[in-house]
Amino acid sequence: MKNYILILLLVSLTNCDKYSNQENTNIYKIINLIAKNSPSSHPFKSEHNKDFDIRKFYIDNHFIVAVNPIMEPIGKTIGMSDKNRLEYGELFEKLQTLQTNKPIKISEINLFDDVKFIELTEKHIQNMKSKCEFDDFHLYLSFTRIAFNSNYSRAIIGVETAVSCLAGEYGMYILKKDNGIWEIEKYILNQIS
């Protein structure tokens, strides 16, 4: 009987580890996809101003993105319209049940050679409170926990982006996995400042 319980425990732990690895792999694929497609995440020349060179504004030859290193639960004040709830309500409800924080490894976010991702620190937060412009980074990104459907083919995540304390937005990304590759299915804007 003891051997049976030990084997059952070992199988359970192995399945949990497999689930955790699959979830982590999908989390970083989604974060990279969203970071790449977020507003201002990689500045390109504007069609209206071909002479504009964003590199003049780089810090140490990089466009700096500060990322909150903790994926937090979605706020209770965030909702979803009835129209979207019909199609995505089950995923949204699953997102609302995730009540613990999850750390992000900033080193796992890699997009472009001239974009550098840094961890948002307490010093950055204090600077953000004292003045509106970001001194040592260009873009702020914060992610909620990610909820997946049972077969990891759809997901939902809340994302906050800001280029200053007065210019930012919060929305939810609905994602789907097609042939093993995550794609943004829909972006639902919730708040803008």
| Regions of the chain with pLDDT less than 50 | 6-19, 41-49, 51-52
Phi-psi sector, 29: left (phi>0), alpha (psi -120 to 50), beta: alpha
Helix (H, G, I), strand (E, B) or coil at 188: strand
The pLDDT value recorded for residue 136 is 82
The pLDDT value recorded for residue 44 is 43
- CB under 8 Å to 92, separation ≥6 — which residues? 80, 84, 85, 147, 156, 172
CA 193 – CA 170 distance, rounded (Å): 9
Question: What is the span of the domain harbouring residue 157?
Answer: 2-192
- The predicted-structure confidence for 126-142, as pLDDT tens digits, reads as follows 877 777 778 788 888 99
The pLDDT value recorded for residue 47 is 46
CA 98 – CA 105 distance, rounded (Å): 19
CA 18 – CA 55 distance, rounded (Å): 43
- Hunting for tokens 């049976």 — which residue is that? 4
The pLDDT value recorded for residue 178 is 94
- The predicted-structure confidence for 171-182, as pLDDT tens digits, reads as follows 999 999 999 999
Contact 168, 132 (CB under 8 A): no
Number of domains in the chain: 1
The pLDDT value recorded for residue 125 is 82
The pLDDT value recorded for residue 185 is 95
The pLDDT value recorded for residue 45 is 41
